[in-house]
Amino acid sequence: MNKRLLLYPLIIGFFGCLIWFIIKQGDNLSVRNRHNITTTEVAPAAATASTGETVWNAIVHNIQHPLALLLLQIILILITARVFGWLAGRIGQPAVVGEIIAGVCLGPSLLGWLSHSTSQFLFPADSFKNLQFLSQIGLAFFMFVVGMELDTHKIKNKAHDAVMISHASIVVPFFLGVWLAYYIYPQFSPENVSFLSFALFMGIAMSITAFPVLARIVQERKLTGTPLGLLAITCAAADDVTAWCILAVVITIVKAGSLWSAALTLGMALIFVGTMLYVIKPWIAKKFQQFAAKDKEKSIVALAFLMLLFSAWAAEVIGIHALFGAFLAGVIMPAEVSVQKLLTDKLEDVSVLLLLPIFFVFTGLRTQIGLLGQGHLWAVFGMIMLVAVGGKLGGSAAAAKLMGQSWTDSLAIGALMNTRGLMELVVLNIGYDLGILSPEIFAMMVLMALATTFMTGPLLDLVKRIEANRLQTSRV
């Protein structure tokens, strides 16, 4: 044992001496002039190195390197998102509410207001593209998981009530959003944006329900197995499918510019969707069965990732946005629990814990609440809130009541369907990227998404309290 311990420093020392000897001999070598290399080209760098930078300046320079800055941003984003997510949980709110607030706080609305220089150092404008690409990848993964978790059988089993309620929760706020757009378009629409594009995006932004957040709230309140919980989740699933299809059509119309181009793009989109549902879906189910029989989990994951990337790429090329393609790729995945669990385990933690917070903060960096410094702008925000809550909550509750639900359950369904959360932010960022939403409207709509998500829990508690008081009164 002692010989082995002695052998280690002897070997390291011996080869270390040889390396040192070669380096010393190399210092005496002369550099021959080559045809393509001149010594004058490297002289400035050598001169700079000789004068030297201070250690502190070198560290600052290294921090500002794109890769180092991106890693620092991710670390800061994850820590802030986790802290605010924990705080949201402490007050009975879903973590997504805290993560959205974290994004707003790291943006110009708070950090930029408190220290503009710090904000510019941590999130310079030229770093936004890197954050945007990462956030889009995270969203694609997340939408793939959402598509997999969409239970189409539940939609079929409760099709009549769910479709009626979900479509009422879309058409009413959509109409109110278009109506509101008529009044705010002259003042808040960006230049060269048609009223059609602006109105359609305002309509779809008012119509969105955050299916993942709603499902999480239903699960946290132990309503999953109840008739109310099943109906709410089914309504949200039907709402999700319908809203994303409408969004794809809206994006097609906006990007196409003319009716003929829109019709062509819509035709290609329908062919794409039909191919995915009726050709790729049965084929991929057959391949997954073959891989599962041979216990080839890696092949299943590889094929699923390939389909995710291909579907997102095809949707983006057609002109209906990559996120719709990612969602559709999730929908066509086989319904076997083992397959879905395998893919979810691979993707969910990375997308939800790592990449989605980047999306929230990227949205926060775009949200400039300081732009709403004048009283009339807050009045417009009040109109947006009134339209959003009245259309979504009121439309859902009224439709649920018409379908035979009690007023208590109808109001609870309305409160749940009024949850917007992440899905609303996705739509808003698409509109902002397309240049349809001005910074002022974008900020108002982000605040609306935050407020409607935040109020879901208290509204459910209020409905529950009213029902308890009613039962107590009836017993007396």
Residue 71 lies in a domain: no
- Domain of residue 230, residue span: 138-462
Residue 96 lies in a domain: no
437 burial via Cβ count (<10 Å: 0-12, 13-18, 19+): buried
The whole model's pTM is what? 0.73
- pLDDT confidence of residue 43: 45
Tokens of 302: 């590889």
Q: Which of 143, 99, 123, 112 is nearest to 354 (CA)?
A: 99
Residue 118 lies in a domain: no
Neighbours of 347 (CB within 10 A): 23
Residue 408 lies in a domain: yes
DSSP 372: G
Integer Rg of the chain from CA = 28
- pLDDT confidence of residue 330: 87
Distance of CA 389 to CAs 3, 179, 434, Å?
80, 15, 26
Residue 346 lies in a domain: yes
d(CA 355, CA 339) in angstroms, rounded, equals 23
- DSSP output for 99-133: HHHHHHHHSTTTHHHH-HHHHHHHS-GGGHHHHHH
Number of domains within the chain: 1
Q: Are 351 and 138 in contact (CB under 8 A)?
A: yes
Mean pLDDT in runs of 10 for the chain (476 residues)? 70 84 79 52 46 68 80 89 87 80 84 84 83 83 79 59 79 91 89 86 87 73 73 77 78 72 79 90 89 84 90 85 83 78 77 80 81 81 92 89 84 88 83 88 90 88 83 71
21 by DSSP, 3-state: which? helix
- pLDDT confidence of residue 238: 74
d(CA 354, CA 356) in angstroms, rounded, equals 6
Q: What are the E-state strand segments in 389-444? A: none
Which residues have C-beta within 8 Å of that of residue 402, sequence separation ≥ 6? 164
- pLDDT confidence of residue 217: 78
d(CA 285, CA 276) in angstroms, rounded, equals 12
For position 274, which CATH number holds?
1.20.1530.20
- pLDDT confidence of residue 288: 87
DSSP 258: S
pLDDT tens, position by position, 256-294: 666 677 778 778 888 988 899 899 999 998 988 888 888
Residue 8 lies in a domain: no
- pLDDT confidence of residue 112: 82
- pLDDT confidence of residue 33: 54
- pLDDT confidence of residue 258: 64
Residue 51 lies in a domain: no
